[in-house]
Structure 1
């Protein structure tokens, strides 16, 4: 399969001279397109690989995963050919769970590890939290409104909302799934927003417990979706982390 047509990486632009790959994992309900335009803001020696999970965008007709282990089982074989170069993980909200679970799994196996991981807009996954699986549809929709990430037109069209609810519910199951308190050896940088009502800044400090490497913490203006509202400072911070972990990528 041509890498550019792999459904897991629909927006990937292969970069033969890349010194580093950045694998980006989306938030609940998000697809690979949330990372459109990021490559231009990163060092020239970086290839950005945005992950497209089933159940959204071009994969809207595929059933979504509801649990992390089977998702990793499906994702690992398609990632394997892209691990021939150094890499880092960037996870946003739900995406941090997937990134951390992969790193924990690969560390146990002695497989290649990320040079570092940026975990944004999420509390540490070994901390207990209440599952939202039991919410009825009305309560779940109200929860979505509070996150302020779903476009208003979705709520205005009942059929569209009903079409995407199963995928969103599945994503929240993954986002709420606890992971073991097993630290990984790669450094972690936790990014959060000053006014995020869902992830208070003190919660981000607990990522420190999940690495035996260096831990850094950064905060940005905005609320939970500061990936949209603070895009430039977020990308500047990511670029700084990349260059710190892999100076060979260039400025």
Structure 2
């Protein structure tokens, strides 16, 4: 019988020859499948691991986390067996908070850190921002439409919408939380969309305060979800960052 997929890493394809693992954390409402196909676009020495949070896809019936600290507690336990190799974090929008939160924790206790972190489509989390928690359902749904990240068929079926709204609200609460301005030692590359109305290019620069290592910004054509519309240039930039942080990966 095939092995039962790990709930946190259901799409993982173990690579015993990998020299580096890259953990991909999703945007609000996103699941592990948002990174489908990325493994084959990266160097052979990389094992890509998409993280599946509760409340979506195969974990749709599980209650989503509404606050970052308990989510980090659970993730630390799940990630521990996979930290036997050098690793990198890739966070998209809400996922940047998860990546940074784990790294800040591990630095505080003297644990190994990522070789680098890619933070995409997000403003720096130590900067105050307007919370979306007070929005009623109609206002929140209107916001989701404007973001253009939720499939249109979900808005057309009330049952589907009612099912995903709690997860989306929980994710937005995590995405809106202000985090401590504790810089980490690992380098950070920040990716942003040139036409993103929610994360301006000037907002990306504030990430520089959160690292004492190398800091770079990369800009791509597209709005907030440029990982869909600018997939090839994004993956090309990611390959460059990974090989810079882990030069022995090869092409």
Smaller-chain TM-score bracket: over 0.9
- Corresponding residue number in structure 2 for 1:250: 250
Contact 1:22/1:87 (8 A) holds in 2: yes
Within 5 Å, which residues of 2 pair with 1:87-106? 87-106=87-106
Alpha-carbon distance in structure 1 between the residues aligned to 2:155 and 2:143: 12
Within 5 Å, which residues of 2 pair with 1:109-124? 109-124=109-124
Contact 1:4/1:14 (8 A) holds in 2: no
Give CA-to-partner distance per residue, 1:107-162, whole Å, 9 cap, x none.
00101100000000000000000111111000000000110011111111111101
- Corresponding residue number in structure 1 for 2:163: 163
Deviation at 1:68, TM superposition (A): 0.4
- Corresponding residue number in structure 2 for 1:46: 46
Pair 1:205-2:205 in alignment: yes
What RMSD, in angstroms, separates the aligned Cα atoms of the two structures?
A: 0.9
Give CA-to-partner distance per residue, 1:88-116, whole Å, 9 cap, x none.
00000000000000000000010110000
Q: How many residues align?
A: 250
- Corresponding residue number in structure 2 for 1:185: 185
Runs of 4 or more, structure 1, over 4 Å off, are none
Within 5 Å, which residues of 2 pair with 1:235-246? 235-246=235-246
Structure 2 spans left out of the alignment, 5+ residues: none
- Corresponding residue number in structure 1 for 2:72: 72
Q: Secondary structure at the match of 1:204?
A: helix
Alpha-carbon distance in structure 2 between the residues aligned to 1:3 and 1:78: 17
TM-score by length of 2: 0.98
Contact 1:93/1:120 (8 A) holds in 2: yes
Structure 1 spans left out of the alignment, 5+ residues: none
Q: Secondary structure at the match of 2:29?
A: coil
Contact 1:3/1:14 (8 A) holds in 2: no
- Corresponding residue number in structure 2 for 1:196: 196
- Corresponding residue number in structure 2 for 1:6: 6
Q: Secondary structure at the match of 1:88?
A: strand
Alpha-carbon distance in structure 2 between the residues aligned to 1:183 and 1:4: 38
- Corresponding residue number in structure 2 for 1:30: 30
Mean CA deviation greater in 157-166 or 3-12: 3-12
Deviation at 1:4, TM superposition (A): 6.3
Alpha-carbon distance in structure 2 between the residues aligned to 1:143 and 1:97: 20
Deviation at 1:3, TM superposition (A): 7.7
- Corresponding residue number in structure 2 for 1:15: 15
Q: Secondary structure at the match of 1:199?
A: coil
Alpha-carbon distance in structure 2 between the residues aligned to 1:148 and 1:230: 15
Q: Secondary structure at the match of 2:204?
A: helix
Alpha-carbon distance in structure 2 between the residues aligned to 1:172 and 1:76: 21
Contact 1:183/1:212 (8 A) holds in 2: yes
